[in-house]
C-alpha cells in the first residue's frame, strides 16, 4: 500500500525520507540479527544508537512512514491498564517429567510400543519402526517464560503468555521490545498464519548487569534470571520492558495456515532459522533411549558453561506424523518428555518444625529454615513429608540440614549433618490435636500420613468436604461447583454442610457469577438433595477409607445411621469387606462430638433417607459373585443396573478378569465383551440379568 504525503509536503519530498527510512530499517534489522542470532555484532553500540536515533527522527517528522514492523516500535508505548486474556487456538500444554535413566528408557519403550501398535492398525503405514530405534529431536529446556508469537502474513500481530495452557495474557507491546524477535518474518512468501512457540529468557551476563543497574538505582534486585525475565515481560509499561535485556529461542509451533507443516521437528527449527526466528544451536536428532541419554550427558557436562540457565533437556518424537499418532494424554503430549537435571542442594539451619493441614486433612510437617539460596531462589520453608520421614532421616530441630529444590521447584529437607548438631537440638513431637480446629489427629496402622478427624468442621478442609458432600455420587447437589464453594467459604457464609440448606435465592444471587435463575436452580437442587439414601449420606460424610461400596455395605449391614454411629470397632469388623483400618477410621470419625453434631444439624435441616432392618451381605443371594457391566442396556442406566445387582449382594467391578462371574453386556460392548469371551466368562443381556434377579 502506498503512503500518503505528509501535510504540506510534496510527493518528491516524501520519497527521499521514505527511501532512507526503509534503508535504516533494513540496516538496523541486519545488525539486530548479527547481534542476537549470530552473536557477532558488526558495529559498535554507539553507531547502532546513532542509526536508531536517525530513524526515530525520520518517523517523528513523517508519521505516515511509521510501520508496525519498524525497529522503533520496540521501544514501547504508554503503560497498559492490564493484560487482556488471549485464548490459545492450539493449547500450550505442559510436559511430563523424567528424572533418571529409567524414566527415559520407559518413555522410549512406551513411544516405540505405541507407534508399532499404531503402525499395525488398519489405515496406517506399517513397518516404520520395526528393526530400528525411534528418531527423536533433543533440545534444551530453558528456564524462562513460555510465549506464543502470532504472525499473520509475516507480521507479528500478537504475543501471549502460556497462562493456564488454554488462556494466556496479551503481552504484545512488551514482546515488540525484545530485539531478537523479528517483527516481520524474513521471507517474501510468509504463511497466512504462523504461531511460534518459544521461551523468553535472560542471559546470565545480562542478568548480572541488570541487577548492578537496579542496585545502583536503589531499586529491587532480582533473585534469578527467570524471575527477571518474567517480571520484565509482565510490566504494564512496555518502556520498562524495553530497557531489560531479554532474549528469545523458538522450540515449537501452534497454529500454521497457508503452508504445509514441516515433516519433522528438526525441519521446523531449520525453517524458523530461514525466517529470522532465533533457534538455539544446542539441539540434535538422535535415535532411541541411548541417543537421548548421550545428549543429556553431553548437555549436563556443558551446563555450567552455557550463558543462560536451563533446568533440563526436552525430547520430542521427531516425525510429525508419529507425533500425531501418539497424541496427548491429559495436559501433556505422549510424544515428548522433559528430562530434569538433578536438584541443587545447600546447607542451612532447621529453626523449627510446624505442621500444616491440607485440604483432605493430611498433617504435613514443614521445616522453618534459616534463609538459604538454593536452586535459584531463597528458601525459608521446606517439606518434611511426614513424621516417619523425619525419624528415618534422623532430623532434630536445631540441626544443620541439607536442603534440596527437587526438580528445581519444590524445596525439601534431605537429611541432617550430625557432626554439626548443637547440644540443645531437640526432637519433633507430632501434635495430638489439629492446629486449625482442635480435632484429634489420627494415624492409622500401616499409614504414614497423620490426619485431622474434623473433616466436617475443620476450616482447612471445609472446601474439599463441601465439594465431596455435594458430588453426584453423594448428595448430588447440581450447581454447587468449585468457584461457588470458594465464595461461600471465603465469605464465611458456609461453615458446615448443614449450612447449605439454609441458603436462599437472595443470598446466592448476590454472589459473583450467580443470577436469580442460577440461584433458583441451586435452591431447587438443595431441596431435592434433602431426600437421599442412607448409603449416599454415609459416603457424603467423607469418612476416611469409606468409599461408595463400603458405604453401601454399612447401610445394608446396620440398616439405620444411629446403629452405625454407635457401632464398636468389633461390630464394624463384622461388615463385609471392612478391615481393621477402615473400622478404626469409622469409629474415630463418630467419636468426634462435632461430627455427630453436624449430622444432627443435617437432620434438623430436613435431610432424610429411608432406613431398614439390618441385613448381612453374606446372607444375600448373590454374595461373593462379581459382575461387570459394559455397553448400553436397553432400558436401564448403568447406575440402576449396578444398584440392582448390589442390592442382591453382588460386587460390581470395573474390568473383566478370571475372577469375574458374569458380564452384563448391552449395545456397543467393546473390548470387555471380547475379554469375557476369551476367558469363558458367562455373558448376560439385560433380560437375562433381570430374570436372574427375579428368580432369587
C-alpha cell at 377: 531462589
- Is 434 annotated as a binding-site member? yes
Measured in degrees and rounded to the nearest 5, phi and psi for residue 617 equal -60, -40
Q: What residues are annotated to the active site?
A: 141
- Is 316 annotated as a binding-site member? yes
- Is 324 annotated as a binding-site member? no
- Is 499 annotated as a binding-site member? no
- Is 48 annotated as a binding-site member? yes
Return the closest-CA partner of residue 354 out of 340, 344, 369: 369
Q: Which residues have C-beta within 8 Å of that of residue 326, sequence separation ≥ 6?
A: 111, 114, 115, 118, 317, 333, 334, 335
Measured in degrees and rounded to the nearest 5, phi and psi for residue 586 equal -65, -45
Q: Round to whole Å and give the CA distance between 526 and 498.
A: 11
- Is 452 annotated as a binding-site member? no
Q: Round to whole Å and give the CA distance between 396 and 418.
A: 9
Alpha helices (runs of H) in 327-461, residue ranges in sequence order: 387-393
- How long is the chain? 696
- Is 94 annotated as a binding-site member? yes
- Is 443 annotated as a binding-site member? no
C-alpha cell at 470: 455435594
- Is 45 annotated as a binding-site member? yes
Q: Round to whole Å and give the CA distance between 228 and 205.
A: 12
Residue-wise burial string across 352-389, b where 16 or more C-beta atoms lie within 10 A, e elsewhere: ebebebeebbbbbbbbebeebebbbbebeebbbbbbee
- Is 396 annotated as a binding-site member? no
Category of 127 on φ-ψ map: left (φ > 0), alpha (ψ -120 to 50) or beta: left
- Is 678 annotated as a binding-site member? no
- Is 95 annotated as a binding-site member? yes
Q: Which residues have C-beta within 8 Å of that of residue 271, sequence separation ≥ 6?
A: 262
- Is 139 annotated as a binding-site member? yes
In the chain, count H helices and then E strands. 24, 26
- Is 458 annotated as a binding-site member? yes
- Chain-centroid distance of CA 372 in Å reads 27
Sheet strands side by side (includes 193-201): 155-161, 145-152, 193-201, 247-257
Alpha helices (runs of H) in 340-426, residue ranges in sequence order: 387-393
- Is 560 annotated as a binding-site member? no
DSSP string, 256-282: EESSPPPSBHHHHHHHHHHTT----S-
Q: Which residues have C-beta within 8 Å of that of residue 226, sequence separation ≥ 6?
A: 143, 144, 145, 201, 202, 309, 376
The annotated binding site for NAD(+) is made up of: 45-49, 94-95, 139, 162, 199, 316, 340
The annotated binding site for Zn(2+) is made up of: 434, 437, 458
Amino acid at each position: 500500500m502506498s503512503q500518503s504525503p505528509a501535510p504540506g509536503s510534496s510527493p518528491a519530498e516524501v520519497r527521499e525520507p521514505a527511501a532512507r527510512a526503509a534503508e535504516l530499517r533494513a540496516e538496523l534489522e541486519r545488525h539486530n540479527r548479527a547481534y542476537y542470532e549470530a552473536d557477532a555484532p558488526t558495529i559498535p553500540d554507539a553507531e547502532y544508537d546513532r542509526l536508531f536515533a536517525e530513524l526515530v527522527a525520520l518517523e517523528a517528522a513523517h508519521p505516515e512512514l511509521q510501520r508496525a514492523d519498524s525497529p522503533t516500535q520496540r521501544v514501547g508505548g504508554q503503560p497498559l491498564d492490564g493484560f487482556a486474556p488471549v485464548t490459545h487456538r492450539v493449547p500450550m500444554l505442559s510436559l511430563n517429567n523424567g528424572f533418571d535413566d529409567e524414566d527415559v528408557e520407559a518413555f522410549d519403550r512406551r513411544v516405540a510400543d505405541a507407534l508399532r501398535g499404531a503402525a499395525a492398525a488398519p489405515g496406517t503405514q506399517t513397518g516404520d519402526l520395526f528393526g530400528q530405534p525411534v528418531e527423536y529431536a533433543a533440545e534444551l529446556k530453558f528456564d524462562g517464560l513460555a510465549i506464543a508469537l502470532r504472525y499473520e502474513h509475516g507480521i507479528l500481530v500478537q504475543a501471549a503468555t502460556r497462562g493456564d495452557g488454554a488462556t494466556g495474557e496479551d503481552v504484545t507491546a512488551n514482546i515488540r521490545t525484545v530485539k531478537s524477535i523479528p517483527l516481520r518474518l524474513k521471507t517474501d512468501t510468509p504463511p497466512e498464519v504462523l504461531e511460534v512457540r518459544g521461551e523468553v529468557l535472560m542471559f546470565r551476563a545480562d542478568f548480572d548487569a541488570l541487577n548492578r543497574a537496579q542496585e545502583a538505582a536503589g531499586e529491587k534486585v532480582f533473585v534469578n534470571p527467570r524471575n527477571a525475565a518474567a517480571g520484565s515481560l509482565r510490566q504494564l509499561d512496555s518502556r520498562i520492558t524495553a530497557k531489560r535485556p531479554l532474549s528469545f529461542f523458538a522450540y515449537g509451533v501452534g497454529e500454521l495456515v497457508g503452508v504445509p507443516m514441516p515433516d519433522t521437528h528438526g525441519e521446523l527449527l531449520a525453517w524458523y532459522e530461514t525466517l529470522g526466528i532465533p533457534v538455539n544451536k544446542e539441539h540434535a536428532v538422535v535415535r532411541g533411549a541411548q541417543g537421548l541419554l548421550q545428549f543429556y550427558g553431553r548437555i549436563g557436562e556443558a551446563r555450567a558453561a552455557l550463558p543462560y540457565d536451563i533446568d533440563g533437556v526436552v525430547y520430542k518424537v521427531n516425525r510429525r506424523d508419529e507425533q500425531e499418532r501418539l497424541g496427548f494424554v491429559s495436559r501433556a503430549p505422549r510424544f515428548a518428555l522433559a528430562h530434569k537435571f538433578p536438584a541443587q542442594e545447600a546447607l542451612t539451619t532447621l529453626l523449627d518444625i510446624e505442621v500444616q493441614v491440607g485440604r483432605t486433612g493430611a498433617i504435613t510437617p514443614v521445616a522453618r529454615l534459616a534463609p538459604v539460596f538454593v536452586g535459584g531462589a531463597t528458601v525459608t520453608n521446606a517439606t518434611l513429608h511426614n513424621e516417619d520421614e523425619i525419624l528415618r532421616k534422623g532430623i532434630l530441630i536445631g540441626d544443620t540440614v541439607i536442603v534440596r529444590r527437587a526438580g528445581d521447584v519444590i524445596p525439601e529437607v534431605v537429611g541432617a549433618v550430625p557432626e554439626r548438631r548443637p547440644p540443645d537440638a531437640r526432637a519433633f513431637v507430632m501434635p495430638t490435636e489439629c492446629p486449625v480446629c482442635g480435632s484429634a489427629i489420627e494415624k492409622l496402622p500401616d499409614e504414614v500420613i497423620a490426619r485431622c478427624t474434623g473433616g466436617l468442621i475443620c476450616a482447612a478442609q471445609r472446601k474439599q468436604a463441601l465439594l465431596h458432600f455435594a458430588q453426584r455420587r453423594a448428595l448430588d447437589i447440581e450447581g454447587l461447583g468449585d468457584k461457588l464453594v470458594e465464595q461461600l467459604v471465603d465469605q464465611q457464609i458456609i461453615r458446615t454442610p448443614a449450612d447449605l440448606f439454609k441458603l436462599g435465592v437472595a443470598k446466592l444471587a448476590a454472589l459473583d457469577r450467580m443470577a436469580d435463575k442460577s440461584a433458583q436452580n441451586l435452591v431447587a437442587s438443595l431441596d431435592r438433595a434433602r431426600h437421599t439414601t442412607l448409603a449416599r449420606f454415609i459416603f457424603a460424610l467423607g469418612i476416611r477409607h469409606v468409599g461408595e461400596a463400603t458405604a453401601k455395605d454399612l447401610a445394608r449391614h446396620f440398616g439405620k445411621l444411629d446403629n452405625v454411629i454407635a457401632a464398636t470397632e468389633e461390630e464394624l469388623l463384622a461388615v463385609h469387606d471392612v478391615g481393621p483400618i477402615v473400622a478404626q477410621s469409622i469409629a474415630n470419625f463418630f467419636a468426634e462430638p462435632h461430627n455427630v453434631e453436624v449430622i444432627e444439624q443435617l437432620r434438623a435441616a430436613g435431610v432424610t433417607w429411608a432406613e431398614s432392618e439390618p441385613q448381612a451381605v453374606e446372607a444375600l443371594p448373590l454374595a461373593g459373585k462379581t459382575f461387570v457391566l459394559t455397553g448400553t442396556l436397553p432400558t436401564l442406566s448403568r447406575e440402576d443396573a449396578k444398584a440392582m445387582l448390589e442390592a442382591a449382594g453382588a460386587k460390581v467391578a470395573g474390568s473383566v478378569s478370571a475372577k469375574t462371574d458374569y458380564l452384563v453386556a448391552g449395545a456397543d460392548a467393546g473390548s470387555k465383551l471380547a475379554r469375557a469371551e476369551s476367558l469363558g466368562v458367562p455373558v448376560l443381556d439385560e433380560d437375562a440379568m433381570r430374570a436372574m434377579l427375579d428368580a432369587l
